[in-house]
Structure 1
Amino acid sequence: MKDDLAKSCAAGTAVLVKVENVSLPTRLRGESRESSDMRLVRTIAAMAPLDLSPISKLGLETALSAMADATKAAIASDLACWRDWCQDEGMAPLPAGPEDIVRYVNALDARGKKPSTLARRIASLGSVHRVLDLATPASPTDAPMVRNALKGIRRRRGVSQRQAAPLRLGKALDPHIAQGFTLAALLDACAGDLQGLRDAALLSLGYDAGLRVSELTRVEAGHIDCQNDGAATLFIPYSKTDQEQEGAWAWLSAETVRRVQAWQAASGIQEGLLFRRVGIDRRRARPSGETADMTLITYSIGNTALTRQGVNGIYRRIAMTAYEQGLVTLPAGKLLEAVRALSTHSLRVGLTQDLFAAGEDGVGIAQALRWSSPATALRYGRKLAVRSNVAARVLARVRR
């Protein structure tokens, strides 16, 4: 896109605004970027026993191709944890023995790891045994003592999982929302500059479609099909529950379409990834022929997708702004806790709870949000679902 230069005056201050489409550096945490395949292969190679028999290259490639990138990254992280524990214990990481795995599970339990985390790490350890043909005749993670150890921890500690704080719509959809962060409050807190237009479009589209962050960051301009009534449909080519990439569709409100179009008009993005990083550079400038100092604001639009950490940071930054502007009411001392509870899953949880509050059932909600089973939807909205279940509907008519 060509550079766009505009001048405006507000409260006597001259401002130059410049928009550039550039390749912003990707923000990384920790080690340098590498593919999920290479990271997992490197982790496995560092753990493999020296006397390991040759494995099938085709078998390894097939196993990797069957996994999602997020799954491979999680397995690599879990294996690194097991490797470090083995080093501390002075033992070889592979092949693992059932007794060693139980000791490992107990050590993680003592450190306060959740039962779901323990189960995932044991599953990852089982995966590497199968990939390296070490699961003969069966993986040590399937041993009865390992299963009993996990079962005992679940029974003692329970299996309830910490849920992301919901970002519900607010407004008049549910009068029971009295305080806390809502989507409406965050949208009102979005500024009218380039970054604010992107943030508002990101929030609005993510809520309407109930997107996972992996889906939200992959939305492209061409995925949106506008309708005559102002609404639109969004094509979702890939998701966590659609590994074969059959694709799915979601509905977008007319309000969301307007916000997306405002972001596109300001950014010049008409194809490719819709949500990208926006860099802001503010500095003093005195253009030729001008007598007064001016503020030059340069907005740099990246070419790569936002990261999970980037989206999480956007939500929390806007939440702080909403609170500072008086758009949100929170109990004294609860601000930081409420902000930290927000995550990339908050919009999806919020939409689920709003649909339950509106009286929709778990099956319909699971279909709308592309879950393979209503069980997850019921877990997110189990408290609100009570107000629309059969007992509530029948008794509300006779016990007034």
Structure 2
Amino acid sequence: MTELDRYLQAATRDNTRRSYRAAIEHFEVTWGGFLPATADSVARYLVAHAGVLSINTLKLRLSALAQWHNSQGFADPTKAPVVRKVFKGIRALHPAQEKQAEPLQLQHLEQVVGRLEQEIQAAKAQADRPGLLRARRDLALILLGFWRGFRSDELCRLQIEHVQAVAGSGITLYLPRSKSDRENLGKTFQTPALQRLCPVQAYIDWITEAALVRGPVFRGIDRWGHLGEEGLHANSVIPLLRQALGRAGIAAEQYTSHSLRRGFATWAHQSGWDMKSLMGYVGWKDMKSAMRYIDASPFAGMALSAEKPVAAQIPNSSINTVG
């Protein structure tokens, strides 16, 4: 790889690169298209998958095709009027409500945390090292993911060298890059210690138990309790969360890794955070992105209104996201 190629590759996120590669393969191999493509072939490709693939998936496929043609020096066929009209027609004839992950409500967060704490105590009593490590890891991942509103890939890319945690005080986390950090300047996130459901103590307990001093925070654990050298893959967060919820007696089919982020946004909204503070804390750049994550149902916060179980509520004035 040349220096030029290295910098070009660094300009695109790994997840985006994989998605684009899969989209090009789908166009060429699965559908039988040819590259460079014509506007007519792209339009026929859209028609072939209208109503089968979601609008967002079709948009991703068009973005991948556009990126391939631009990077190879060919004219971009996705900008042709016929392609734009076909895509507009598909949106009109195949409207579909965007599927949203179920937000993890606070009472369910309490329920799964209680279950994991039971598993920790049981593992200690039975000298079950693998079970103890998994419960500690899952507890830290879920609490940190919820209270910090992190995406799954952000959780999986956390490095111990970039985390500073002080018991009873708070935690500071640095990410060299994130989805909202378009310029790759790096962002620092903070969250305080809580009296209950505390992400700070859960993080400290996990890295202490695992004896981790550098590298990825969250890793795979084999049947013998050996930790992997690489960080968890973002796709592994969904089964990890669903399994933990299932063990806690919560039907988990509708939950995804976005459930932690949506859960926090819903909790903050119901707790009276103004939108500007919420957007700054989570890292949203525009109102539309923020509103997609907030469960606006009038019943969403009912379990929170009767009693706020977290004694040290996160004050939106004491935490911020520093660019």
| Contiguous gaps of at least 5 residues in structure 1 | 1-37, 39-56, 171-181, 282-298, 329-334, 389-400
- Asked whether the 8 Å contact 2:20–2:64 carries over to 1, the reply is yes
Deviates more, 1:312-321 or 1:244-253: 244-253
Q: Deviations over 1:367-388 (max 9, x none)?
A: 1111221211112216259999
- Secondary structure of residue in 1 paired with 2:183: coil
- Cα distance in structure 2, aligned partners of 1:315 and 1:385: 26
Match of 1:309 among 230, 235, 240: 235
Code of the aligned partner of 1:259: A
Question: CA separation of 1:109/1:371 partners in 2, compared to 1, >3 Å: closer, same or farther?
Answer: same
Match status 1:319 vs 2:212 = no
Q: Deviations over 1:340-388 (max 9, x none)?
A: 3221221111111111111223322111111221211112216259999
- Cα distance in structure 2, aligned partners of 1:184 and 1:108: 42
Question: CA separation of 1:78/1:262 partners in 2, compared to 1, >3 Å: closer, same or farther?
Answer: same
Q: Find the counterpart in structure 2 of residue 109 from structure 1.
A: 50
- Secondary structure of residue in 1 paired with 2:226: strand
Q: Find the counterpart in structure 2 of residue 264 from structure 1.
A: 207
Match status 1:246 vs 2:185 = yes
Question: CA separation of 1:373/1:205 partners in 2, compared to 1, >3 Å: closer, same or farther?
Answer: same
- Cα distance in structure 1, aligned partners of 2:6 and 2:81: 31
Q: Which structure carries more strand by proportion?
A: 1
Question: CA separation of 1:245/1:122 partners in 2, compared to 1, >3 Å: closer, same or farther?
Answer: closer
Question: CA separation of 1:263/1:237 partners in 2, compared to 1, >3 Å: closer, same or farther?
Answer: same
Q: Find the counterpart in structure 2 of residue 127 from structure 1.
A: 67
- Secondary structure of residue in 1 paired with 2:105: coil
Q: Find the counterpart in structure 2 of residue 279 from structure 1.
A: 222
Q: Find the counterpart in structure 1 of residue 173 from structure 2.
A: 234
Question: CA separation of 1:361/1:149 partners in 2, compared to 1, >3 Å: closer, same or farther?
Answer: farther
- Cα distance in structure 2, aligned partners of 1:195 and 1:354: 27
Code of the aligned partner of 2:78: T
Question: CA separation of 1:194/1:83 partners in 2, compared to 1, >3 Å: closer, same or farther?
Answer: same
Report the TM-score, using the length of structure 2 for normalisation: 0.80
- Cα distance in structure 2, aligned partners of 1:63 and 1:273: 25
Aligned counterparts, 1:60-139, within 5 A: 63-87=8-32, 93-110=34-51, 112-135=52-75, 139=76
- Cα distance in structure 2, aligned partners of 1:161 and 1:152: 18
Question: CA separation of 1:98/1:375 partners in 2, compared to 1, >3 Å: closer, same or farther?
Answer: same
- Secondary structure of residue in 2 paired with 1:304: strand
| 1:159 Cα deviation after fit | 5.5
- Cα distance in structure 1, aligned partners of 2:17 and 2:235: 18
Q: Find the counterpart in structure 1 of residue 91 from structure 2.
A: 154
| 1:264 Cα deviation after fit | 1.9
Q: How many residues align?
A: 284
Question: CA separation of 1:160/1:366 partners in 2, compared to 1, >3 Å: closer, same or farther?
Answer: farther
- Cα distance in structure 1, aligned partners of 2:77 and 2:74: 9
Q: Find the counterpart in structure 1 of residue 102 from structure 2.
A: 165
Question: CA separation of 1:62/1:278 partners in 2, compared to 1, >3 Å: closer, same or farther?
Answer: closer
- Secondary structure of residue in 1 paired with 2:50: helix
- Cα distance in structure 2, aligned partners of 1:274 and 1:58: 30
- Cα distance in structure 2, aligned partners of 1:367 and 1:213: 19
Match of 1:373 among 258, 266, 286: 286
- Asked whether the 8 Å contact 1:236–1:247 carries over to 2, the reply is yes
| Contiguous gaps of at least 5 residues in structure 2 | 121-131, 302-323
Match of 1:184 among 110, 127, 132: 110
The structure with the largest alpha-carbon Rg is 1
Question: CA separation of 1:230/1:64 partners in 2, compared to 1, >3 Å: closer, same or farther?
Answer: closer
Q: Deviations over 1:215-251 (max 9, x none)?
A: 1012122333235852222222221121433222223
- Cα distance in structure 2, aligned partners of 1:238 and 1:121: 24
- Asked whether the 8 Å contact 2:167–2:204 carries over to 1, the reply is no
| 1:188 Cα deviation after fit | 1.3
Identity fraction in percent: 26
Q: Find the counterpart in structure 1 of residue 155 from structure 2.
A: 216
| 1:121 Cα deviation after fit | 0.4
Q: Find the counterpart in structure 2 of residue 349 from structure 1.
A: 262
Q: Which structure carries more helix by proportion?
A: 2
Question: CA separation of 1:270/1:387 partners in 2, compared to 1, >3 Å: closer, same or farther?
Answer: closer
Q: Deviations over 1:135-185 (max 9, x none)?
A: 1xxx11101111111111112233642111211322xxxxxxxxxxx2211
Q: Find the counterpart in structure 1 of residue 78 from structure 2.
A: 141
Question: CA separation of 1:204/1:354 partners in 2, compared to 1, >3 Å: closer, same or farther?
Answer: same
- Secondary structure of residue in 1 paired with 2:228: strand
- Cα distance in structure 1, aligned partners of 2:138 and 2:30: 42
Code of the aligned partner of 1:149: V
- Asked whether the 8 Å contact 1:98–1:141 carries over to 2, the reply is yes
Code of the aligned partner of 2:15: A
